[in-house]
Amino acid sequence: MALSLYVDNTRWRAHQKSMIDQFPGLVPVCKGNGYGFGHERLSEEVTRFGADTLAVGTTYEAARIKDWFGGDLLVLTPFRRGEEPVPLPDRVIRSVSSVDGVHALVGARVVIECMSSMRRHGVSERDLHQLHSAIEDVRLEGFALHLPLDRTDGSDAVEEVIGWMDRLRAARLPLHTMFVSHLRADELTRLQHQFPQTRFRARIGTRLWLGDHEATEYRGAVLDVTRVARGDRFGYRQQKAASDGWLVVVAGGTSHGVGLEAPKALHGVMPRAKGVARAGLATVNRNLSPFVWAGKQRWFAEPPHMQVSILFVPSDSPEPKVGDELVAHLRHTTTQFDRMVDR
């Protein structure tokens, strides 16, 4: 009995192919928990469709993935002086976001990150004149721009990239390759037409692995079902059942990521109102679980345990049976499954 991730391989791989066709030279991203699939599985997929480079989040991820993927590994977290050294093969490329970082990586393969409107990290325009001497001692693989997902000011992502291309060209820096994140296929095509001598390579993770929502599904197996009457006490805190129904123990708890939720940016009145309503319910111990039974998302009977969750199913719903599986709406990047089932 487990929390399982079901994967429709035909759909999943068809989506991968559509992305590869739209983004020539695509650099797949495999970081964190491997977008819910795990590093080993995504390394196998990247090898299968023949990408020459795989982007990872950290040097520690690169150290693990190097045994599963034989091509180049691009580390996205920028190098910093004083970081813990991690033994890595020569096929690892380091991202660098400062002139000092370039100077510190003599002989290394590097991608230089430029400061985008994300304002996260990167070299600034005033740093460019210092890069000429710095890049003489490294093997420059290209420059990179990590762009925002939303542009609430109405600005154009392509124009932002063009601005940086013009700055780099004016500084007489090599423009053979530009790595970009969060561009649409048509935007990438516009750039490639305008700068035919530069190879634009899209780094893509979420859209590649999770772009077809119907290709994957989490399900938690029902482990136990106990009938309760209104007023019966249950659980660690001996709360009272609010009405007649069933306590349903289902595979999937905090160790799997159940009950964890990343903060979300709320836009508009309705999403904010729903957020306030959820917060109000939580103050009286009413929290909606990710598990669905009989077409409805069910309430937690109490906070999820380490490996299981206890749900309350009212008596006007069908009784779940041990061995049934409940679909779970879980975020891939925060979920750890017990098993993966290929379909």
Q: Which of 157, 186, 211 is the last residue of a domain?
A: 211
Please give the residue range of the domain that contains residue 147.
Answer: 8-211
Check residue 47 and give its pLDDT: 98
204 and 317 inside one domain: no
Check residue 44 and give its pLDDT: 97
- Average pLDDT of the residues of the chain: 93
Distance CA 142, CA 201 (A): 10
Check residue 265 and give its pLDDT: 57
287 and 329 inside one domain: yes
74: in domain: yes
103: in domain: yes
264: in domain: yes
User: What's the mean pLDDT in 218-227?
Assistant: 98
CB-based contacts of 43: which residues, under 8 Å, 6+ apart? 30, 54, 65, 68, 69
169: in domain: yes
pLDDT at 283 over 80: no
CB-based contacts of 229: which residues, under 8 Å, 6+ apart? 241, 244
217, β-bridge pairs: 6
- The packing angle between helices 39-49 and 9-22, to 10°, is 60
Instruction: Find the range with the poorest average confidence among 85-89, 140-144, 151-155, 219-223.
Output: 151-155
Check residue 270 and give its pLDDT: 54
Check residue 1 and give its pLDDT: 78
User: What's the mean pLDDT in 312-316?
Assistant: 96
41: in domain: yes
pLDDT, tens only, 227-278: 999 999 999 989 999 999 999 999 999 999 998 765 555 456 555 444 433 4
- The CATH number linked to 179 is 3.20.20.10
Check residue 278 and give its pLDDT: 42
| Lookup: tokens for 32 | 């964190």
Query: Above pLDDT 70, what percent of the chain?
Result: 92
263 and 245 inside one domain: yes
Check residue 10 and give its pLDDT: 98
Q: Residue 178: what residue type? A: M
44 and 180 inside one domain: yes
Q: Which of 191, 211, 231 is the last residue of a domain?
A: 211
pLDDT, tens only, 41-73: 999 999 999 999 999 999 999 999 999 999 999
2: in domain: no
164 and 223 inside one domain: no
User: What's the mean pLDDT in 112-133?
Assistant: 95
Is the whole model's pTM more than 0.75, yes or no?
A: yes
Instruction: Find the range with the poorest average confidence among 10-14, 238-242, 277-281.
Output: 277-281
40 and 155 inside one domain: yes
27 and 157 inside one domain: yes
Distance CA 308, CA 253 (A): 4
pLDDT band at 286 (very low <50, low <70, confident <90, very high): low
Query: Above pLDDT 90, what percent of the chain?
Result: 89
Q: Which of 156, 183, 211 is the last residue of a domain?
A: 211
95: in domain: yes
3: in domain: no
DSSP percent split of the chain into helix, strand, coil, nearest 5: 30, 30, 40
130 and 247 inside one domain: no
196 and 219 inside one domain: no
pLDDT at 139 over 80: yes
222 and 134 inside one domain: no
174 and 267 inside one domain: no
Distances (CA, A) of 284 to 83, 170, 214, 278, 280: 46, 61, 34, 10, 7
Check residue 257 and give its pLDDT: 96
227 and 165 inside one domain: no
Closest by CA to 58, choosing from 108, 12, 92, 106, is 92
pLDDT, tens only, 331-342: 999 999 999 999
Closest by CA to 88, choosing from 74, 102, 77, 103, is 74
Distances (CA, A) of 12 to 7, 209, 342: 7, 8, 10
Distance CA 114, CA 127 (A): 10
CB-based contacts of 8: which residues, under 8 Å, 6+ apart? 214, 215, 216, 343
Check residue 48 and give its pLDDT: 97
Structural domain total, the chain: 2
- The CATH number linked to 275 is 2.40.37.10
